[in-house]
Amino acid sequence: ARKLILDTDGGVDDAQALLMLIANGRTPDAITTVFGNVGLDAATRNILTVLEVAGKASVPVHKGADRPLTQPVIDAKYIHGEDGLGGAPRPAKIPEVAGTNGVGYLVDTFRAAAKAGEKVDILMIGPLTNLALALRLAPDITAGIGQLTIMGATVYGRGNTTPAAEFNIYADPEAAAIVFGTEIEMLIAPWEPCVTHFMTGDEVEALLKDIPESPEKTFSVALVEHARRTTVGYGGPDHFRFVDPLAIAAVIEPELVTKTLRASMDVALSPGITRGMTVVDPTGRLGTPMVTIIEEAKVDRLVALYRASVAYRANT
Ligand code: BDR
Ligand code: CA
């Protein structure tokens, strides 16, 4: 498989997504972190924690942007908990961060790939700031970018952070505008299918019951219980929704995506109630459609990939 970079803001479902990649044979070659669900330092610590739990401390982690391009920083601690991992138990020792210039890492990596006539894939499950900065510094890197997969945006205009905007876009709309304005092929898992692809609380309990206890499982259980509690706490059903894990699953197993929409995408930047809202155009009036939007996926396959991550044992 092609080299893969994961760009993440270190929240609860980012942790689940990373565990799913590792357990299903797509451990990222490197990880860049970004502010988002929590601040940059906490996001980075969370990713290093997941790598330690999974026995993959050798994966290099590079710290990226600590704030959006123009607006003040926001977070989603009200969803992901003060620490960003819903208070999941942490190992005593957490590995060191490899680099403090995630944006420079992206520029260097994509440039080197382009020079060698190769491409590197990037999977983004937080605000799009790191890639936007890299593209602004070095527009030539598009030649080295392979599959760009993003969790973010809405297709039908109903957000999860404001009535119109989804978190990863709302956290840095200017960055999203740069990424969507670049001629790169993109695969997007927007908010809507994340809500409609889920396991019920009972299904989660049944799945967990059959998996032997282990420190790795204890960590995963803390994450899924936090996710369920939060969804219920905000007036939703007792569901474990596949959010970042939906984007990840589409990379691990592209065939599990059963329905897509081909479109171009742009983002509203004006202040006011539509800031951060994405506009999707399948007709080509907004430009050449470069975006494939996930609408439906096989839930049984999502469950299987998730199950593997809970049953995963480090060093075995
Ligand atoms: C996105 O925001 C975060 O809460 C999730 O990790 C996901 O990246 C969903 O809007
Ligand atoms: Ca995320």
Q: How deeply is 116 buried, as exposed, middle or buried, from its count of CB atoms within 10 A (0-12, 13-18, 19+)? A: exposed
Q: What is the pLDDT of residues 164-203, one digit of tens each?
A: 999 999 999 999 999 999 999 999 999 999 999 999 999 9
- ipTM of the predicted structure? 0.94
User: What confidence tier does 315 reach under pLDDT thresholds 50, 70, 90?
Assistant: confident
Q: How confident is the model over 139-153, as pLDDT tens digits?
A: 999 999 999 999 999
CB hemisphere CA count around 70 (13 angstroms)? 11
Answer yes or no: is the C-beta of 84 below 6 A from any ligand 1 atom: no
Distance 228 CA to ligand 1 centre (A): 14
Cβ of 168 closer than 6 Å to ligand 1, yes or no, is yes
Position 316 confidence tier, pLDDT thresholds 50, 70, 90? low
* From 168, 230, 294, mutation site for ligand 1 pocket: most ligand atoms within 8 A of C-beta: 168
The residue whose CA has the least distance to atom 10 of ligand 1 is 167
- Which DSSP helix (H) or strand (E) runs through 114? helix 102-115
Give the pLDDT score at 100.
85
| Local confidence band at 284 (pLDDT 50, 70, 90 cut-offs) | confident
Residue 96, pLDDT score: 85
User: Cα(250) to centroid of ligand 1, in Å?
Assistant: 16
Could you tell me if the CB of 13 is within 6 A of ligand 1?
A: yes
The model's confidence at residue 286, banded by pLDDT at 50, 70 and 90, is confident
What average pLDDT does this structure show over 30-48?
97
Establish whether 80 is a catalytic residue: no
- Better-predicted residue by pLDDT, 28 or 93: 28
User: Which pLDDT does position 79 carry in this prediction?
Assistant: 93
pLDDT tens profile 66-108 = 999 999 999 999 899 999 999 999 998 998 888 889 999 999 9
Q: pLDDT-derived band of residue 301, with 50, 70 and 90 as boundaries?
A: very high
pLDDT band at 1 (very low <50, low <70, confident <90, very high): confident
**How does residue 287 score in pLDDT terms, banded at 50, 70 and 90?**
confident
Query: Mean pLDDT over all residues of the chain?
Result: 96
Res. 161: pLDDT tops 90: yes
226-282: pLDDT as tens digits: 999 999 999 999 999 999 999 999 999 999 999 999 999 999 999 999 999 999 999
